[in-house]
Chain A
């Protein structure tokens, strides 16, 4: 979309703001179709996504290995800007991707780990077991997924880890209202 021509743009100026409107530059891509139109782009995309699903387990293993490597760097070098950032990124990616890859419990455990990294006042003071348990849980969920009856175990594991993490974060942030509010706030995003 090229920058709109100035003649197309209408600007209303007020005391402390401008309201800028222009003809919808993407109007040309909208097409009216009959209600009974059978083409369903969402179903088509879901089918295409299902076609990729054979790769998801391998992708998840790569993400899990990346997280383990990031934590190994923390164990070796301690928490610093670089190691903390990489650990957060690795966990954050799993939080975002794992449910799509069919590992929702890994996503939940990764989210819990992200919250610890984001809201702990001093990462060096976090009980090492709390972080290790999250890393180990994510790796176990990924590697044991093909076994029967692991789903409920994985859910329970993630739920308990989140409970422990929240308990810790509430305790250490009791004098940091901004963080405490973020820790206690429910996840609110525009619904799909």
Chain B
């Protein structure tokens, strides 16, 4: 059995509702977290993300200035100076399937619908810590692999095409990173 050393994790919580921030802070502190930074809008959260370099971001969706979805999209910029790989847990009152899909396509790692529960939050955190997914970069997407499972019974068209580096002319991110060192 595994436990998380929450005291080694740094969280950024973004929610415009002060009551929800208080609840999140209470839950995270009682899990054992010491470093919990808070913001009440997406713009401030993005600044804090760059400044504090959190391990995990927990964000609401509906917020002023720019929302949690836009925050996720801004974090998931592969060329940005900040870390584009940090797990993002979207905690939201939205509970429709299409919202889950939109959040997933913005690079959100886990989706947690309100009302919040200690168990639900803990499980999402455990999942992003213990089971990180590879990242996928396409022309239109950069974020955690949206395929959580492989299915042997899938019978639709494959949207990803194989053929290593035979078609793609641009250098890989790794090559670019290596040449810039």
Residues of A within 8 A of B (CB): 1-4, 6, 9-22, 24-26, 28-35, 37, 39, 41-42, 44-49, 51-52, 59, 62-63, 88-89, 92-93, 95-101, 104, 107, 111, 114, 182, 185, 187-190, 192
- State A14–B165 Cα separation when bound (angstroms): 5
Minimum distance in angstroms from B50 CB to a CB of chain A: 11
Q: CB distance B53 to A46 under 8 Å?
A: no
A30 contact from B16, B19, B98, B129, Cβ within 8 A: B129
- State A164–B181 Cα separation when bound (angstroms): 63
A190 contact from B2, B6, B112, B122, Cβ within 8 A: B112
Task: Give the residues in chain A near B174, CB-CB below 8 Å.
Answer: 6, 9-11
29 contacts between A and B (CB under 8 A): A1-B54, A3-B81, A3-B83, A4-B83, A6-B177, A11-B174, A13-B168, A14-B164, A15-B162, A15-B164, A15-B168, A16-B160, A17-B136, A25-B55, A29-B5, A33-B3, A39-B3, A41-B122, A45-B121, A49-B26, A51-B26, A63-B19, A92-B62, A92-B93, A96-B114, A98-B115, A185-B98, A189-B97, A189-B100
Task: Give the residues in chain A near B31, CB-CB below 8 Å.
Answer: 41, 44-45
Task: Give the residues in chain B near A192, CB-CB below 8 Å.
Answer: 112, 117, 119-120, 123
Which residue of chain B has the shortest Cβ distance to A23 in the bound complex?
B132
Task: Give the residues in chain A near B130, CB-CB below 8 Å.
Answer: 30
A-facing residues in B1-48 (Cβ within 8 Å): 1-6, 8-10, 16-17, 19-20, 22-23, 26-27, 29-32
- State A187–B116 Cα separation when bound (angstroms): 16
Q: CB distance A20 to B136 under 8 Å?
A: yes
Q: CB distance B3 to A31 under 8 Å?
A: yes
**3 shortest interchain CB distances as A-B pairs:** A96-B93, A6-B177, A96-B114
Task: Give the residues in chain B near A29, CB-CB below 8 Å.
Answer: 4-6, 8-9, 55, 129
**Is B151 interfacial (CB-CB < 8 Å)?**
no
Beyond A6-B178, A45-B30, A96-B115, whether A11 also contacts B172 by CB under 8 A is yes
